Structure 1
Amino acid sequence: MSCPEILPDHVLSLLKTSKYLHLATCSKPECIPSVSLMNYTYISPDRVYVPKGAEHSSSDRCHFIIMATQRDTEKYENIIQNPQVSVLIHDWVTAKKLSLRKSSMSNTPTPAEPAQVDPEQQNPDHPSRLLNLLQELNQSELSQMSATLRGYAEHLDTSSDEFDYYEKELLKANPDARVYTRGENVSVVKVKLVNAKVSDRENNTKFYD
C-alpha cells in the first residue's frame, strides 16, 4: 500500500487550512455509497505517530488524515467492512468572499456615503453592478481547485498511545470535535493517503501516486 511521495503545494495548503472535507465510504458487499461532511486534521510525514523508542521508517513517510466519528454510524460500518475511502477538498475561500461581496452590494446605502455617487449605481440591481459581480464570479470559478484523495482508513484502538496522540492533534485543529472523541462509542479514524487527483481551473486533471 504505497503513498504519494510528493503532493503539490496547493493541495498541501488546502489540507492544512481547510476545516472540513467530504468523506466517501462504500458498504460491502452491497456497494452502497455514502458521503459525510467531516472535520479533520492533516498529518504530514514528519508528524506521524512513532512509538516510544522507535525511529521513523520509510513506511512512515506518508500523508495521513485524522477524523473522529461515532461507531453507530453508517460511515463507521462502511469503513469496517471496506477500508477504501475517498475524500474531497475544495477551495471555498473565493466563494465566501463573493458571498460577502454580494451581501455588501445588497445593503441599503447609509447617509454617510458620498453624495456625488449616482443613486442608480448604489442600487444592487443596477446592470453595471450586476455585471461586475458576474465578472468576479466567472474569474473566481476559474481560479478554484479541488482535489480527490484516495486512501485506506483504519480504526484506532482507544486504549493505544497512537489513539491519544492523534486525538490530541485532531482537537488542536478542531476543538469542537471533542464531542466525537469522548465516550465508549467513539472512533478515531486514520486515513493513509495513497493517491490524489487534482483538477485545475482549466479542467485539466493530474494524478499523483
Structure 2
Amino acid sequence: MSCTEKFPDHLLSLIKTSKYVHLATSSTDGIPSVALMNYVYVPASRTFGPDANKGNDYIIFATFANTEKYNNIKTNPNVSLLFHDWVTAKNLSVKKRTLSETSTPEPSSSNLNNPSGITTANPSRLLNLLQELNQSELNEMSATIKGHGLLIAPDTDESKYFKRLLLKSNPDASVFIQGDNVHIVKVKIESAKVTDNENHTKVYN
C-alpha cells in the first residue's frame, strides 16, 4: 500500500495543488540547502513503466545539472519537501493544475478580474489580495514530506514522460523544465508530518 493512501484528504489536496514546494537537500558534509521549486505530484497509477506496479507515489521536479541541489541529490538522495498553502483567501489562492482526475472549481472570471468589487484604473492583483484578505480563510496547515530522490537520465523515455507531466501542471515554468542541461528528479514519498498553527502534529508513514 502506498503511504499516501493513509493521508487525509486535506493533506493530499495540499500536495496536489500547491503551486510551489520548498526542497531541502544536504551535501555529504551535512551542509543544507533549500530551494523553491515547481513540481507535480504523480500518484502510483500515473508513474512510468514498471513503477506503476510498485505502488509508489512521487513528487517530480526538474533541476539544472550545474546546481547545488543536483549535486546534493546525486551524493545524498535523502530530501525533505515543505508544502504550505500560502494564501487561500477567496479566489486569490495560488494554485496550479493537478493530475488528479477530480475536478477543482475554477473562480469566475469576474471575481478574478475584480474580486473586491472596487474599481481602479489599473487594478492590481496584489492590492486586491490585501483588500480581500481574511485571516479566518487562511490555510493553517503545513506538511513536510520525507523522501528519496532519484535523478532520471536525460533523453530517456521516462525523463520525457515526466517532463510532459511537469509542463502540463506548470505551463509557466518551461524555462526551468526544458533544456539540454535539465534533469528530472523523482522523489519517492516515504512519510509526511502535518503541523497546524496550534502546533498539533501528526505523522503519516
Do these two structures clear the TM 0.5 threshold for a shared fold by scoring above it?
A: yes
- Tell me, yes or no, if structure 1 residue 87 matches structure 2 residue 57: no
Contact 1:3 1:192 in 2 (8 A): no
Q: Please show how residues 151-166 of structure 1 align to structure 2 within 5 Å.
A: 151-166=147-162
Instruction: Give the Cα separation in 2 of the matches to 1:183 and 1:90.
Output: 29
Contact 1:68 1:177 in 2 (8 A): no
Per the alignment, residue 145 of structure 2 pairs with 149
- Aligned partners of 2:46 and 2:52 also within 8 Å: no
Higher helix share: 1
Q: TM-score, normalised by structure 1?
A: 0.72
Structure 2 residue identity aligned to 1:172: K
d(CA) in 2 for partners of 1:108, 1:165: 45
Deviations 1:146-201 (A, max 9, x none): 00000011110112211111000000011133222333311111111100000124
Does the 8 Å CA contact 2:88/2:137 hold for their aligned counterparts? yes
**Aligned residue in 1 for 2:57:** 63
Q: C-alpha offsets along residues 16-47 of structure 1, whole Å, 9 cap, x if unaligned?
A: 2111010000000x100000000011101211
Distance across 1 between alignment mates of 2:3 and 2:78: 14
Task: Report the alpha carbon displacement of residue 202 of structure 1 after superposing the two structures with TM.
Answer: 2.9
How far apart are 1:63 and its partner, in Å? Answer: 1.6
1:40 aligned residue: 39
The 2-side partners of 1:77 and 1:158 are apart by 16
Q: How many residues align?
A: 173
Q: Where does 1:93-104 land on structure 2 (aligned, <5 Å)?
A: 93-94=87-88
Residues 1-209 of structure 1 mapped to structure 2, 5 A cutoff: 3-28=3-28, 30-50=29-49, 56-57=52-53, 59=54, 61-94=55-88, 136-137=134-135, 139-140=136-137, 143-209=139-205
8 Å contact from structure 2 (residues 151, 185) kept in 1? yes
**TM-score of the superposition, structure 2-length normalised?**
0.73
CA distance in 2 between counterparts of 1:93 and 1:44 reads 25
Give distance in 1, aligned partners of 2:119 and 2:179.
49
Using the aligned pairs only, state the percent identity. Answer: 51
Larger radius of gyration: 1
Three-state SS of the structure 2 residue aligned to 1:94 is coil
Separation in structure 2 between the aligned mates of residue 160 and residue 6 of structure 1, nearest angstrom: 32
Please list every run of at least 4 consecutive aligned residues from structure 1 whose deviation after the TM superposition is greater than 6 angstroms.
none
Matches of 1:183 and 1:144, distance apart in 2: 37
Residues 1:7 and 1:183: Cα distance change in structure 2 (over 3 Å): same
C-alpha deviation, 1:3, in angstroms = 4.5
Which residue identity does 1:81 align to in structure 2? T
Alpha-carbon separation, structure 2, partners of 1:17 and 1:4 = 15
Q: Say which SS state the counterpart of residue 69 (structure 1) adopts.
A: strand
Alpha-carbon RMSD across the aligned residues, in angstroms, is: 3.0
* Structure 1 residue 140: Cα displacement: 4.6
SS in 2 for 1:31: coil
